[in-house]
A and B are shown apart, each in its own frame.
Chain A
Amino acid sequence: MRTKLSLFIMAILMVIVSSVSAQDTVTIKWWHINTNTAEGAFWQTIADEFVAANPGVTIEITVLENEAFKSRLFTVMQSGEAPDLFQSWGGGVLWEFAEAGLLRNIAPELDANDGEWRNSFSAQAALNLFELDGESYGVPWTWGAVGMFYNKALFEQAGLDPENPPATWEEFVAAIEALKEAGITPISLGGKDKWPGHFWWVYAAIRLGGQEAFLNAYNRTGSFADEPFVKAGEYVQSLVDMGAFPENFMALTYGDQFTLTANGGAAMELMGQWSPGNYNNVVEGGLGDDLGWFPFPMIPDGLGNPGDVLGGGDGYAVGANAPDATIDFLKYLTSVDVQRRAAEVWVIPTVGEAEDVVTDNPVFASIIKARNEAPYFQLYYDQFLPPALGGEVNDAVESLLAGLATPEETAARIEDMASFELED
C-alpha cells in the first residue's frame, strides 16, 4: 500500500515537473511544401540540428502538398492564426496577409549589424517581393528564373548546334521546324495544369512590352488589352498552329510534361529552376550532360530587354505571433553553410557566398546569372497579381492554347478581371 502511494505521488510529481519544463520550451510551427523525400529529409535534418543547438526550442513541422497547403493556409489565416514559419512566394498573396496584420515584421533583424543578414542575399529583387511599405515579412531561400530547358542530344539529332541555342524568335521557329522534320516533339507542355502554359503568354508579353507595358496595366494607366498583350497571344497561337506542342497537350498535366522531357520525348520545355529535380525523379541522373538552358528568345521589335526575367522561387514568411526563436531559425536556414548543403539537394542559393557551389553545374550557373542580372525581374503573375486576376490569366491562356479564344479575346478577358481587381 505504502509503495503504491509513493509511486502515485512520484507519478504526480513527474507530471508537474514535466509540465513546468514544457512551459519553458518554445515551439516553432513550421509549414513547408517539400513533399519530395530527399528535400523533406533535408529540412528535418536542419530542424534537428537547430533543436539540438538550442535547448528549449522544439520545431513542429507540417509538410503539405502544394495545393493542399494553399487552401489550408487560407483557412488558418482567416481564423487569424498564422503558422510561425511558412512557405511563401512573396508578392500579392503575401501582401494581402501583411495588410491584414497576420505577419511579423522582421526588418529590424534583417537590418541589425549594418544590415548583415539583408546584404547576405544576392537575390535582392526576390527579397523585395517579401516587403511592403518598408516592412519585411520573410526571406527567399531558393530563387531562379523561368527559361528553356533543352535536350542537347535531340538538338544534335535534328541537325542543330547544341552549344548555340536559339536567341531570337526566328532562330527559335527554325529550330522547331527542324525538330519536327526529324520527328521529334519540339516542346513539352502540360496544358491541363494551366500554369505551365501561362509562362508562354507572360514571357512573350515581357519581351514585347517590357516592364513599362506591365506597370502601365498594373497601375491602371494602361490596360491588359494593350497591343503587347494581344500580340503575345498571337505568338503563342502561332506555336500551337505550328504543332510545336505534343499531341493532345491540353489534356496533359505538368507531371506528364516533365516526364516527357526527362524520357527524351520532347526537345524543349519552358519551366522554372525545379525542373532538373523532377527529371532526376523520373530517370536516375536526369538528362545528365545533355541538359542545357537558354533564356526565352527575343522577339523582333520587342520593347523589353532580352535579359528581362520571369521567375520566382520559394521563401519563408514569419507569422505575426511567431516567437523570437523563429527568426533565429530562419537565419540558420539561410546561413551560408545550410544554403551550400541545400544546393546539393535541390536549392539554388539566394545567399551570395553560397553561390559558388553551382559552378560545376552550368544550367544552375546560367539561371543564377539571369536572375541576378535581370534589368526587370517579373514574379509569376499568379503570385504577384491579386489571386483572382492571376487565376484568370491562367484560365484565359488555357483557352487560347486550346484554340477556344482569339488573342484579342484572351487579352480582353484578363482586362475585364483586372478592371475589377486593380481598381485602386
Chain B
Amino acid sequence: MSLVNTRNLSEVKLAEDQIRRDKRTTSLRKWLTVAFFVVPGMAVFTIFVLNPIAQSVRYSFYDWNGLGPLTDYQEFGNYERLFAHDVFIKSVQHTLVIMSLSLLIQLPVALAVALSVSRGALPGRRAFRALLFIPYVFSEIITAIIWLYVLHPNDGLVNTVLGSLVTDYKNQAWLGADLVLYSVFAVLVWKYFGFYMILYMASIQNVPKDLEEAARMDGATELGVLRHITVPLMGPTIRLTIYLAIVGSIQQFAIIWILTTGGGINNSAQVISTYLYKYGLQRFKPGYGSAIAVVLFVFTFAFSILYQQFIMRRDYED
C-alpha cells in the first residue's frame, strides 16, 4: 500500500511538474497567440487613431494655418475664442435640436412602423418594407443632391406639388433661414429611418412567440402584449438605437453640408461638425479646427463611456 502510495506520490509530483512546465509553455504560447492577433490591430489603432488624437490636442494650442512648423503658441486661446464665438454656440444648439428630434420623432415612428409591418398581415408588406429601406442604401451625397432638387424654392417637387394642391400657395424657401433646420431633419429621417426600422424588425423576430401567446391566453389585449412583452424584450436593441441616434446626430456631416452649402444662411443650420469643417479646415485654421475637434471628442467620448457603463452594460453581460 505504502509502496503504491509513494509511487503514486512521486508520480503525482512528476505529473505536477509536467503540468507546471506545460502551464508555463502554454501561458507563453497563449501570450504569443494573443500578441499575434492583437499587435497588428493595436499598431494600426495607435498609428491611425490614438496618434491623430494626440496630434490634434497638440495643434489645438497653436495658431496655425496648416503649413510649416508650429510656432505661434496660444495656450488656451483657441478654446477661449471657440466658446466666445456665437456661431459655435448656435451650432451646439442646432446639434442638440437635431438630436432631440431624432430621439423623440424618428425612433418612435420607426418602432411603430416596424411593429405594424412585422405583426399585422398587411398585404404587400414586403414591398413596403423594401421601399422604406431603399433610402438607407443611397450614398449621403446622392441623397443630399436629390433633396436639393426636391426642395428647390422655385421649381422643386415639394413646392410644385403643394402649389397644385393648395390654392394661393406661396413658394416656400425650404432651405431658407427659417425652415432649413427642419428640412434637414426631415431629410435625415427619410435617409436613416429604414435603418432603425430594420434593426427593430430583426429584434421583433427574436421575441419568443410563446410568451406573447401566453399573455394573450391570460387575457392581455394587443396593446398590453406590446407594452408588457414585446417592447420590453426589445430593450437591448432600443438602447442600442438610442446610442446610435445620438452619436449619429453629432457626427452627421455630408447631408447637412451639401443641403445648406456650408451651414445655411446666417449659420441657420450650422451644426458642430459643419462648424469644424468650415471654420477649421475650409478657412485654413487647422489649429482652431483641432480645438473644436478636441471639444467634440471629449464630449462624445465621455457620453459613450457613461452610456456604455450605465445603460448598455447589462445587455452585454450574460
On A, residues with C-beta under 8 Å from B are 71, 74, 77-78, 93, 96-97, 99-102, 192-194, 247-248, 250-252, 386-388, 391, 395, 398-399, 402, 404-405, 420
Contacts and interface: CB of A to CB of B under 8 A. Distances in A.
Interface of B: 65-68, 81, 152-154, 171, 173, 175-177, 261, 265-268, 278-279, 281-286
A404 B177 contact: yes
Contact of A250 (B171, B265, B286): B265
Given A251-B176, A387-B283, A388-B283, A97 B67 contact: yes
Q: Is the interface of B mostly helix, strand, loop or mixed?
A: loop
A102 B65 CA distance: 13
A401 B67 CA distance: 35
Contact of A74 (B152, B261, B265, B284): B284
A247 B171 CA distance: 10
A398 B266 contact: yes
Contacts of A192: 261
B284 A387 contact: yes
Contacts of A96: 65, 67, 284
B66 A78 contact: yes
A130 to B, nearest CB: 17
B172 to A, nearest CB: 10
A402 B176 contact: yes
Contact of A404 (B171, B266, B279, B283): B266
Given A74-B284, A100-B68, A388-B284, A250 B261 contact: no
Contacts of A387: 282-284
A271 B177 CA distance: 26
B231 to A, nearest CB: 43
Contacts of A74: 66, 281, 284
Given A250-B176, A251-B173, A99 B68 contact: yes
Contact of A78 (B67, B153, B261, B265): B67
A250 B65 contact: no
B285 A388 contact: yes
B153 A251 contact: yes
A102 B284 CA distance: 15
B299 to A, nearest CB: 24
A101 B65 CA distance: 13
Report, nearest first, the 10 A-B pairs whose CB atoms are least far apart.
Answer: A100-B67, A100-B68, A388-B283, A399-B266, A251-B153, A404-B266, A387-B284, A248-B153, A387-B283, A402-B265
A4 to B, nearest CB: 42
Given A386-B284, A404-B266, A250 B173 contact: yes
A402 B154 contact: no
Contacts of A101: 68
Given A247-B154, A248-B153, A387-B284, A402 B68 contact: no
